Amino acid sequence: MDFTLSEEQMMFADTARSLFADNCTADHWRRMMEAGAAHDDVRWSAIVETGLTLVLLPEAAGGIGLAELDFALIAQEAGYVALPEPLVESAGVAAPMLAALAPDHPALANPMATVAIAHPLNPFVANADTAGAILLHRDGEAYVATPDQVTLTRQPVIDPFRRLFAVEWDATSATSLGKADWDLALDRAALFAAAQGLGLAQRAVDLAVDYAKERQQFGKPIGSYQAVKHHLASAQVAIEFARPVVLAAAAEIGHCDVQSRARISQAKIVALEAADKAARASIQVHGAMGYSWEVDVHLFLKRAIALTQSWGTPAFHRSRVATRIFTQPTGPDQTFARETQNA
């Protein structure tokens, strides 16, 4: 399998990276936290104007019609800055699902609108209060409603920028969309959570490296000591081992079978474990300051913890990997999906 990224894919990733670097800094986070805001209209406008919300939408719905691998690169950049806005879950999961069911829905016609999704695997809905539409699940069927047609109850959450709501609703106040592919929505969400995990992990390491270069003890930077180097090297190794797993999962997601789903589950497990490991190592490198709100790394640990428990717990994803192992042939020539067909 060729994992070489195309020029177009790299262009989208570079565009997202530049946009987020300019519009999603620590100063932006702190101003939002002080104001109690969960959404920056200026930043979201820039995201929309750049076309990042259109990547997975089909052309019939006004989108670009690219693949999950393309969007995974954008999700990774969103993770690197702990993007507060729901770009990933809206543009990567909910909006494509709504476009497949109701391509003429008004929420898709409004470029500034986001779409939230109440997946049966998640007890709460992220960013439901600011969504232009909420996809709801009942008995395998999809319904769509607006926030004013449902009852939202805010839930406590560790991530200050991830707003979760319990949603109470009645089928008479929502519009039925028929049967929906909830499994594909889960696969996309788990994959993009894994991609965000890569970004979170890398940013945590980068923050620690920058700090270790500046902080001095006994007359030299703490980064020169092996104990610090080993912590960060171990975190970076975890990231590099997780990266090809995420890329493989993104490349295979379209098969929608037991092998591709095992890949996605493995990606979510290892990428978010890498994020957790990197964030905790970064906090330790920062010393006592690392445990305070003055140091930004706490946001990356909190986002990693939140994503770990969303779109399937680690136990859920381990069970999907186990299903692959115990129901399909294994061995050096058969462990990976479809290699024998492409040899």
Its pTM stands at 0.93
Nearest one of 92, 84, 12, 99 to 44, comparing CA atoms: 84
Residue ending a domain, among 133, 156, 180, is 180
pLDDT of residue 7: 82
19 with 163, same domain? yes
Rounded to the nearest 5 degrees, what angle is found at the Cα of 74, between the Cα atoms of 72 and 78?
A: 110
pLDDT of residue 342: 45
pLDDT of residue 343: 38
pLDDT of residue 3: 61
92 with 14, same domain? yes
What residues of the chain score a pLDDT lower than 50?
Answer: 340, 342-343
Domain assignment present for residue 343? The answer is: no
286 with 327, same domain? yes
pLDDT of residue 340: 46
- Which residues are within 8 A (CB) of 12 and not within 5 positions of it... i.e. 6 or more apart? 52, 55, 66, 70, 73, 74
- H helices of 155-225, in order, are 182-214
Q: Over the stretch 165-195, which tens digit does the pLDDT of each residue have? A: 999 999 999 999 999 999 999 999 999 999 9
- Domain extent for 73: 7-180
pLDDT of residue 15: 92
pLDDT of residue 224: 67
The CATH number of the domain where 261 resides is what?
1.20.140.10
pLDDT of residue 6: 81
DSSP 213-271: HH-EETTEEGGGSHHHHHHHHHHHHHHHHHHHHHHHHHHHGGG-SHHHHHHHHHHHHHH
16 with 165, same domain? yes
Check: CB of residue 216 under 8 Å from CB of residue 228. Answer: no
243 with 175, same domain? no
43 with 112, same domain? yes
163: left (phi over 0), alpha (psi -120 to 50) or beta: beta
17 with 163, same domain? yes
Residue ending a domain, among 180, 215, 243, is 180
95 with 163, same domain? yes
Domain assignment present for residue 341? The answer is: no
169 with 187, same domain? no
330 with 197, same domain? yes
Q: How many domains does the chain have?
A: 2
Domain assignment present for residue 1? The answer is: no
Check: CB of residue 318 under 8 Å from CB of residue 266. Answer: no
160 with 23, same domain? yes
110 with 229, same domain? no
